Structure 1
Amino acid sequence: MSRHDDIKLLRVNYLRGPNMWTYRPVLETWLDLGALEDYPSNKVPGFTDRLTAALPALAEHHCGVGERGGFLQRLVEGTWMGHVLEHVVIELLNLASMPTGFGQTRSTSQHGVYRMVFRARDEQVARQALAEGHALLMAVINDEPTDVAAAVERVRDKVDDCYLGPSTAAIVAAATDRRIPHIRLNDGNLVQLGHGARQRRIWTAETDMTSAIAEGIARDKDLTKDLLKAVGVPVPAGSVVKNADEAWEAADDLGLPVVVKPSDGNHGRGVTLDLKKREDIAAAFEVAERHGSEVLVERYIPGNEHRLLVVGGQVVAAARGDEAWVTGDGKHTVEELVELQINSDPRRGTTEEFPLNRLDIAEDAVIQLDLQRQGLSATAVPAAGQRVLIQRNGNVAIDCTDEMHPDVAFQVSLAARTIGLDIAGVDLVTSDISKPLHETGGAIVEVNAGPGLLMHLKPAAGNPQPVGQAIIDHLFSSDETGRIPIVGITASTGGNNIARLVAWLLHLNGRHVGLSCSDGLFLGNRRVEHRRGARWEAAHRLLMNRGVDAVVAESNAGVILQDGLAYDRCAVGVVCDMGGLGTLDDHDIRTEDQLFKVLRTQVDVVLSDGVAVLNAAEPRLVEMAELSDGEVLFYALDGSNAAITAHRAKGGRAVFLRSGAAVLAQGQGETAGANIDALLQRFAAAGIATDAQTLLAAVAAAWALHISPELISAGADTFVPALTH
């Protein structure tokens, strides 16, 4: 078989917001199949068998058939390679733990050229998956060697590099369940939840309510103990020491056994437990000193270590640690036994997706000390049946939330409130969490800011806890969504005039308005950027601005095709016309039906309690009314327009022109509105071209925002069309 030339990737574009394909971000790729246009899947010998051998889970893909095995049916019947590439990429993402269910492939007006899209949570991950899928597909087509595992690993590595960590992802997922939008603010885990003035921010499990003073206190373990002791929370006695000799003196005063740890360490680093000998305490001092600025010696509290998560003053999850042991066989070294008996556990790994950590004796000085205390080293060979302690209370990952005694929850909550943390990980040692601490002699040993959530989300044993939901409920009350009013205006011409008038009316209604339109970027009445603002980036900047409590954003079909919309949903979506076809050839949009699919995006994102504002004089826009999740408000110059008449008969709202003034009608009721003729004259005097229909769209959008007819009228009378800033 002669080798087929590679499918050409003509262009790859990341659509960052709602688009003609879907509500969510996608990677759009233009493909030129070349000679493969004449070789669908059933005409390449052995292709289907080789592909399904490489990716057996393709049998689960429904495809257009709508049932399991649907895609395999298409392969056997014959489908084009652009469609096959879509499914290969989706399957690679699934295998890399980035599940993706959406994809589409459509032909263009050019022979052999297709547009293929797939759901893409992260652009870099999507581009990596596309590259791997492309290479894999060509290898299968040409009957060349493939390495699916290596391809999946490369995609997974990109996921680990680029995507949110599991703790942050859980919080964001909980926000999404509440319909709260989010914006990622950096390449790490800094995320904005909500928009504008109603936003909150998280950085993993820290929030914009987390006190910097409280974080500083939590880092100082000695100060933390003093404050907890002052309010009656049980803590282990202890003191700060400056050298190994002082450590021994402190241990002698406290009574053996003791714990030696850094005063400002974290994640348990440098903490050595149950010390009874002077030489062991001296060695532990050296380890602790490497991990913190000061060293603490504390009375040892017998029992298991527990981590309790406090959110907004309430304990929402608890996990218990356990000791790690190996049993000798007289053949293998301690290091080998750790690999065979501990690290072989599939729950252990080096990344955050694993609830238990791999143990590395060479890298863990505390494990080395514990082995020395047992007279062993990593290379020692324990006798058959000899039990060797490797780690004390490591991997706090056994859920015990339901076992917690109310008094324990009270003491832990008090500890977090005393330090001043809104979210805290409280470390507690007790022999039985189902009993009060005064009965078990338990104590709180640390309070930590920015706690990890994985132990509660994916425990090694027990039930996962909805900690992401608890954090979202802490940040937003039950009736809050973090949303501000967003008005999206899609027009081929005049959108800037509509946007500016709507922004002015919102301003008069008491809003701090951000506006992005063709005239620039505005905050209130001040133009902060002169270059064209009808862009994704400009509107997106407004959504991030904490001083903005309403946004008006102009776009057109080209913006939607190039980037998608900057917002996931809007309160009001305005679609003004079906113009612009001659400017969209680069996107292969050449017919009204194609343009309709692009423009409907603005209607698709209207909230269920929002309003779609549509030009009733455009029959294709009238068709969009049934696509709106919210109310529909029609506007047109002629109040006897058939669509308006039918809409009013059903009690719907409409705006039209009568004797030079806007009429706001609902059902059979009518209210006189803005003086459109006078406003047109002011536009003309300022040298700005516009028309009455454009201004009616702005009046309709303002009314959709529940701005009163009286204020709309007054606002139209005071609006200054000229740009003076």
Structure 2
Amino acid sequence: MSADRPTPTGPPTAALRLLEQRVYRGPNVWSYEPAVHLVVDLGVLESYPSDTLPGFTDALLEYLPGIHEHTCSRGHRGGFVERLREGTWLGHVTEHVALQLQQEIGHDLRRGKTRMVRDRPGVYNVIYSFVDERVGLAAGELAVRLVNHLVEPEEGFDVATALERFQLRAQRLSFGPSTAAIIEEAASRDIPWTRLNEHSLVQLGQGVHAQRIRATMTSRTSALAVDIAGDKNLTGRLLGSAGLPVPRSETVRTAEAAASAARRIGYPVVVKPLDGNHGRGVCLDLREEQQVREAFVVAEAQSKRGVVQVETFVHGKDYRCLIIGGRMAAIAERVPAHVVGDGEHTVLELVDITNSDPRRGVGHEKVLTRITVDAAATALVREQGLALDDVPAREQVVRLAQTGNMSTGGISVDRTFDAHPENVEIAEEAARLIGLDVAGIDFICPDITAPVRETGGAICEVNAAPGFRMHTHPTVGEPQFIAKPVVDLLFPPGTPSRVPIVAVTGTNGKTTTSRMLAHIMKGLGRKVGMTSTDGIVIDERLVIKADASGPRSARMVLQNPRVDLAVMEVARGGILREGLGYDRNDVAVVTNIQPDHLGMRGINTLEQLAAVKAVVVEAVPRNGFAVLNADDALVRAMRRRCSGTVIWFSLEPPDSPVRQFIDEQCRRGRRAVVLEPSDRGEMIVLRQGRRSMPLAWTHLLPSTFGGAARMNVANALAATGAAFALDAPLHDIRQGLRTFSTSYYQSPGRLNRIDVDHVEVFVDYCHNPPGMRMLGDFVESYVTRRQGSAEHRISRIGMIGAAGDRRDDDIRELGAIAAEHFDALIIREDDNLRRRPAGESARLVREGAEEAMRGGARCRQVDTVLDEIAAVRHALVLANPGDVTVLCVDQHAKVLAELEALTHRATAGSRTDEEQPGDPDLDARALRHQATAAASADDTRLRAAVGSPAEPGDE
């Protein structure tokens, strides 16, 4: 505890406030594992550590004695209690309370941390692990309330009641015993899993390897087999025709028919719903016609189709044989709900004592179910000569249910290794006949250790999706690890469950690098799922058009059953908002760290931005790779965060310090992708240890425009390194780079070139100062090469715009850099103004450009046309044949459609608009009409471009 405690400014009050909640579903800036992030404000409690609050620690330990086990930073049991006695701030206490609340419901969680928010005294980041995110959030909310209550009692707040409600809620949200057992087994084998709904539908594995379960029903469970098992009459006929022991049975729809069937079959009989489950509506050992008629009413109420089955009552014990993949996995003897007399308590009191067992809960929430005393139980007790308020004799067994189902309060005794081999063979044959991969065979026989064909007995039911809890948590006997054969069934030993994941991040070049890599791997026959700022692409088909560079999009790709390789563009915002959305990536690519998005979400410096981007590097396992830009010092430093192997790439010449660093790394056996200059040009070279492998000339790659587009040379190096990490053959990498171009169809919105009436137009998504600098360098190099053969001076016209959520200085810098490279600028605005008034972003860009012009920049003309399509038209009006026009766009599809329309209009002469040829992929006419309508609707914004300021409400 620090000695410099804040001076109290008032008495301690319940001032702890929850300001913000966030759930990280994968590796994040705080931890490698999923975590809940709370932002809490202590208020006046910042001046009151735990040791200054009388009785606080003792009360907390009384409510949550499990906190005694917390080690905290001390590393030994009771370490956190020591911190409480010495004095620790209540944000830290909130973290431990949230963890302990989850431990109370069986979630073994120990990871957490609390850190003060920079420059905000009294405000803390509280981070802790979770198993179920809804339970984790509820634990945080209750922790805040409980800490406040211990400081200043809240009127009407009962801690015991609140804890019980939290436990009940958590039990409702948590997986049942069967699903939990399968997930635990999958996780122990490093098989990833994803919950697909609020119940028990879960995906195991990723992409093409994915399998699904719902409780104990799997992707391989036959729907036809489930239907057969649900029809008890048909099941009995099929089993009987194969010579398996089954009771005689008939199906009926009326009480009269039930009575007639009972007479034909012979008493005693069983009456049960044809398509029921969990033992509901089953009436046993009926010996009179009136009993059969009454039982019909009970069974009919539980039947979905109103059909009831009457069958021979088989005497014996109730056994459940679990068959998985055609083999016996476990056997349990099911004992109906009952109590045992002690000579002191009544039947009702004995039920209450039995239900107080902490293993018993409501329904399937715990390993045992509470016994319910209903009308059927009361009647059954009466048949045994007792009333509910009678006191049974010592050791007298009082039955409270006829069937041994766990859901009605029964208990289980493990008999897995007691069964006679012939009985096991009968059960396995029954499962095969019905066709179920996971089946529960209900055997009634005097003793499972003796052959049923000799002692008498029968199979009374075959159940699809049988519950596991009687086997995993038997009341008596050893638990059976039956989840193992289920996972073996879905993922046989040696079968992969994961698809390779490549995460690409950085300030600029993410999208193009991702597309290059996806193109290379497509050439190898891979079905690539890719996320980017343009959308989700599955096997080269755009399936969702949106900014899909976040964790939700990543999860959508990993759920697609066609994907066998995932290439994820990972943006800063998604990492800060939810983490990565998956547990690890096999390859991480970091292109560069440049000043963009600063001043947002608490990221104010390049070092902080680099720490966020480094999450993808930290998510690389020991057998994975990180492809890092050695030319960027911040990216180079990320090598210390990588558990796997680093592959470097660099544009620097051989005599530079960076290349000397790479040479040293390669001498140690590392890998690198570098450029080797020669009199014929630059060669991309792969280096591994002492080996050098020439790959391709940069000037022959279509995406580099003869080597002028240095940013795409860098992107090609990064994509090569990632493909190399994925063990792609060199000739396939070479072929991929040679066939990847920046055409609109391969790389929409990224340096797309199109000729419009003899004007060379480039369309690019450039939107930040570093990107503008690279784009300007490309224009300089490209125009210089063309100028030598041109008959007149080539002018450069640029259309630019800035995102409104950037800092004012960044927007001005964008304009200043553009003014250094273009002769004329047209300034537009995005459709989404990002909370700025219309015209404000454009004004800031113009200020930057004009300031640069006063300092001698190249630009001589600046026009403001806010609407994007109108700005495109204006830029082309300024251009003469042979000039180069660069359009930095927001909506690239609309812009390309407009350019295509202008191209056809120029070449088609007098043909009408409807007669113009068009590209169906661009859907030019529809997009052009939309753009025209938008331009008309934005006439007010166009007028604002010539001087009249827009009102703040115009957005």
Q: 5 Å matches for 1:249-648?
A: 249-292=260-303, 293-326=306-339, 334=347, 336=348, 339-340=351-352, 342-362=354-374, 365=376, 367-368=377-378, 370-371=380-381, 373-374=383-384, 381=390, 388-394=398-404, 395=410, 397-580=412-595, 583-590=597-604, 594-638=608-652, 641-648=659-666
Contact 1:283–1:369 under 8 Å retained in 2: no
Structure 2 partner of 1:37: 46
- CA offsets 1:298-343 (integer angstroms, 9 cap, x no match): 2222111111211111111111112444567999765x25525644
Q: Is the 8 A contact 1:107 1:114 kept in 2?
A: yes
CA shift in 2, pair 1:690/1:36, >3 Å: same
Structure 1: 5+ residue runs without aligned partners? none
Counterpart AA for 1:63: C
**Separation of aligned partners in 2, 1:123 and 1:476:** 27
Per the alignment, do residues 278 and 118 of structure 1 end up closer, same or farther by CA in structure 2, a change over 3 Å counting? same
Contact 1:497 1:690 survives alignment (8 Å)? no
Aligned length: 719
SS, match of residue 727 in structure 2: coil
Instruction: Give secondary structure in 2 for the equivalent of 1:583.
Output: coil
- Give the Cα–Cα distance (whole angstroms) in 2 for the partners of residues 720 and 549 of structure 1: 24
Is the Cα contact below 8 Å between 1:338 and 1:359 reproduced in 2? Answer: no
Q: CA deviation at 1:187?
A: 1.0
Partner in structure 1 of residue 207 of structure 2: 196
**Alpha-carbon distance in structure 2 between the residues aligned to 1:192 and 1:316:** 23
Q: Contact 2:14/2:151 (CA < 8 Å) preserved in 1?
A: no
Distance change (3 Å), C-alpha of 1:369 and 1:215: farther
Give, in angstroms, the shift of residue 49 of structure 1: 3.1
CA distance in 2, matches of 1:130, 1:593: 30
Q: What is the Cα deviation at residue 543 of structure 1?
A: 1.1
**Contact 1:501–1:719 at 8 Å: present in 2 too?**
yes
Is 544-553 or 378-387 further displaced after alignment? 378-387
Q: Distance in 1 between matches of 2:39 and 2:116?
A: 10
- CA deviation vs aligned residue, 1:241-299 (integer Å, no higher than 9, x gap): 34444434433333332222222111111112222223222222222222223222222
Please name the residue that 2:667 is paired with. Answer: 649
Change (3 A) 1:138 1:5: closer
- Deviation sequence 1:435-459 (CA, Å, 0-9, x none): 2221321211101111111111211
Could you tell me which of 723, 727, 731 is aligned with 1:702?
723
How far apart are the structure 2 equivalents of 1:584 and 1:197?
A: 38
Q: Deviations over 1:580-617 (max 9, x none)?
A: 4x625443344565445433321222234322222223
Cα distance in 2, alignment partners of residues 228 and 11 from structure 1: 60
- CA, structure 1 residues 630+348, in 2 after alignment: closer, same or farther (shift >3 Å)? same
Q: Which moved more, 1:324-333 or 1:147-156?
A: 324-333
DSSP 3-state at the match of 1:27: strand
| Residue number in structure 2 paired with 1:662 | 684
Name the structure, 1 or 2, with higher relative contact order (CA <8 Å, separation 6+): 1
SS, match of residue 315 in structure 2: coil
Q: Deviations for 1:18-72, whole angstroms, at most 9, x for unmatched residues?
A: 1122222211112222222222223334433333333332221111111112112
- Partners of 1:383 and 1:496 in 2: CA distance: 77
> Aligned pair in 2 of structure 1 residues 327, 478: CA closer, same or farther (>3 Å)?
closer
Which one is further off, 665-674 or 70-79? Answer: 70-79
* Corresponding residue for residue 51 of structure 1: 60
| d(CA) in 2 for partners of 1:567, 1:498 | 21
- 1:117 Cα deviation from its structure 2 partner: 0.8
- Cα 1:298/1:123, change in 2 over 3 Å: same
Contact kept, 8 Å, 2:550 with 2:573, in 1: the verdict is: no
Q: Does the 8 Å CA contact 1:194/1:482 hold for their aligned counterparts?
A: yes
Provide the C-alpha distance between the structure 2 equivalents of 1:11 and 1:523, rounded to a whole number of angstroms. Answer: 35
Whether 1:140 and 2:150 are equivalent positions in the alignment is yes
Instruction: Pick closer, same or farther for the CA change 1:675–1:162 going to 2, 3 Å.
Output: farther
1:6-85 equivalence runs, <5 A: 6-85=15-94
Structure 1 residue 232: deviation in Å?
2.0
Residue 382 of structure 1 and its aligned partner are, at CA, apart by: 6.8
Stretches of 4+ aligned residues off by more than 6 angstroms: 327-333, 685-689
Give 1:375 shift: 6.0
- TM-score of the two chains, using structure 2 as the length reference: 0.71
> Structure 1 687/313 Cα, relative in aligned 2: closer, same or farther at 3 Å?
farther
Task: Note closer, same or farther for the CA distance 1:104–1:388 as it changes in structure 2 (3 Å cut).
Answer: closer
Shift of 1:518: 2.0
In 1, Cα distance between the equivalents of 2:161 and 2:390?
36
**1:205–1:452 contact (8 Å) kept in structure 2:** yes
> 1:351 and 1:598 mapped to 2: Cα distance?
44
Of residues 557-566 and 180-189 in structure 1, the stretch that sits farther from structure 2 once superposed is 557-566
Identity %: 39
Unaligned runs of 5+ residues in structure 2 are: 1-9, 405-409, 746-920, 922-955
- Is the Cα–Cα contact under 8 Å of residues 699 and 705 in structure 2 kept in the other structure? no
Aligned in 2, Cα 1:595/1:60: closer, same or farther, shift over 3 Å?
farther
Per the alignment, in what secondary structure is the counterpart of residue 145 of structure 2? Answer: helix
- Structure 1 residue aligned with 2:141: 131
Distance (whole Å) between structure 2 residues aligned to residue 707 and residue 173 of structure 1: 34
Looking at CA atoms only, which structure, 1 or 2, has the larger radius of gyration?
Answer: 2
Name the one with the larger strand percent: 1
| TM-score calculated relative to the size of structure 1 | 0.93
2:100 equivalent to 1:91: yes
Q: Which moved more, 1:349-358 or 1:488-497?
A: 349-358
Is 1:233 aligned to residue 255 of structure 2? no
Counterparts of 2:400 and 2:165 in 1: how far apart (Å)? 33
> Secondary structure in 2 aligned to 1:401?
coil
Give, in angstroms, the shift of residue 510 of structure 1.
Answer: 0.4
The one-letter amino acid paired with 2:371 is L
Instruction: Tell me, yes or no, if the aligned pair for 1:506 and 1:513 is still in contact at 8 Å.
Output: yes
Distance 1:383 1:704 in 2: 74
In the TM superposition, residue 484 of structure 1 has moved relative to its aligned partner by 0.9
Q: Is the 8 A contact 2:549 2:570 kept in 1?
A: yes
**Secondary structure of the structure 2 residue equivalent to 1:614:** strand
Does the CA-based 8 Å contact 2:700-2:706 persist in structure 1? no
State yes or no: 1:215 paired with 2:229.
Answer: no
**1:718 correspondence with 2:731:** no
Distance 1:178 1:133, change over 3 A: same
Deviation at 1:223, TM superposition (A): 0.3
CA contact (8 A) 1:622 1:643 kept: no
Q: Which residue of 1 aligns with 2:898?
A: none
* Conservation of the 8 A alpha-carbon contact between 1:675 and 1:713: no
Per the alignment, residue 703 of structure 2 pairs with: 682
Distance 1:74 1:593 in 2: 33
8 Å CA contact 2:282, 2:403 repeated in 1: no
Mapped partners of 1:525, 1:242: distance in 2: 57
Amino acid at match of 2:631: A
Task: Read off the aligned partner of 1:355 and give its amino acid letter.
Answer: V
After superposition, the Cα gap between the structure-2 partners of 1:404 and 1:540, relative to the gap in structure 1 and judged at 3 Å, is: same
Q: CA RMSD in A?
A: 2.7
